[in-house]
A and B are shown apart, each in its own frame.
Chain A
Amino acid sequence: MNTPDPRRPYVRPMAGWWRRNPFFVEYMVHEATAFFVAAYALVLLVGLLRLAQGEVAWNGWQEALRSPWSVAFHGVLLAAMCYHSWTWFRIMPKTMPPLAVRGKRVAPGVITACGVAAAVVCSLVALVLAWGATR
């Protein structure tokens, strides 16, 4: 047991495989946006908890969100979310079933552009709704 193999067969090292190729570095970076999506879900969960605990608890949470650290953190979250959004739609031509319009395959660039456009529309609609509901 535990004696080194006398043949010393070559085993291709896998450690750090993704750092050897810019394509895989980008893959890991866009996968890492998941940490920020999870962080935002947890921020909202804490907010929900504070909401249920009453007005004082809620105001404390709102005060915490006004701290410079929180605003800076949300700036990072916003950048990560935007990157998630962009990469999500960039990959979509590969992750969705082939889409054909009048017998012609829709080009990958068109699918990505439609996705990004949908995100922009959704963002504007959400902002207008929030503005209309709170003014």
Chain B
Amino acid sequence: MKPINRRSNAPVFWGLFGAGGMLAALFGPVLVFITGIAVPLVLILPADAMSWPRMQAFAQHWAGKGLLFVVVALFMWHAMHRILHSLHDLGVHAGTALKFACYGLALLVTMTAAWILVAVGF
């Protein structure tokens, strides 16, 4: 009998899915409200709440940088994992090609976000 020495990569993607799902469940609604509704309509927060100097400083601070990276990357990993498995539920074969497409897009977004956040400076 061949010994099983290959570990599955599934727990990694499951972990990213779970972490992103939890983050989106806890902070998704309030983030959408702040960036997409409250600031554009000047509700609760002042009109210059997301002014360039302020957001620039936020993205340059290590905490703001980390927060932005974690939100963008984990939301994407969560969504692409879920879309992959829902497509499988709809009869699309979740083979290597579809996995590369879904996880590849999440990886692309993650690396783009990382690259931008480094380019923004410290």
Closest-CB distance, B66 to chain A (whole angstroms): 13
Q: Which of B4-12, B52-60, B93-101 contacts A (4 or more CB under 8 A)?
A: B52-60
Q: Hey, which chain B residues are within 8 Å of A35, CB to CB?
A: 79, 83
A75–B109 Cα gap in the complex (Å)?
Answer: 24
Known A45-B112, A70-B40; contact A65-B46, beta-carbon cutoff 8 A: no
Whether A106 sits at the interface, judged by CB under 8 Å, is no
Q: Is the CB of A40 within 8 A of B75?
A: yes
With known contacts A28-B86, A45-B109, A135–B37 Cβ distance under 8 A: no
- In the complex, which residue of chain B has the Cβ closest to the Cβ of A39? B79
Contact of A48 among B30, B68, B85 (CB under 8 A): B68
| Contact between A134 and B54, CB atoms less than 8 A apart | yes
- Establish whether residues B30 and A49, one from each chain, have CB atoms under 8 Å apart when the complex forms: no
Question: Quick check: A74 and B29 within 8 Å, CB to CB?
Answer: no
**What's the tally of chain A residues with a CB closer than 8 Å to chain B?**
53
Please name all residues of chain A whose beta carbon is closer than 8 Å to the beta carbon of B31 when the two chains form the complex. Answer: 40, 126
Indicate if A113 sits at the interface (CB-CB under 8 A): no
Q: Is A107 at the interface (CB under 8 A from chain B)?
A: no
Say which residue of A65, A75, A131 sits within 8 Å of B35 (CB atoms).
A65
**Which B residues between 61 and 114 are near A, CB-CB below 8 angstroms?**
68, 71-72, 75-76, 78-80, 82-83, 85-86, 89-91, 109, 112-113
Q: Shortest CB–CB separation between residue B107 and chain A, in angstroms?
A: 13
Given contacts A34-B82, A47-B35, A126-B27, contact A131 B112 (CB under 8 A): no
20 A/B residue pairs, CB under 8 Å, sorted by A: A14-B91, A37-B28, A38-B80, A41-B71, A41-B75, A44-B35, A45-B112, A45-B113, A48-B59, A51-B52, A51-B55, A71-B36, A73-B36, A74-B33, A85-B25, A85-B29, A122-B30, A126-B34, A127-B34, A134-B45
Extra inter-chain contacts (9) besides given A70-B36, A74-B36, A134-B48, CB under 8 Å: A31-B89, A38-B79, A38-B80, A40-B32, A41-B75, A48-B68, A51-B52, A59-B52, A123-B30
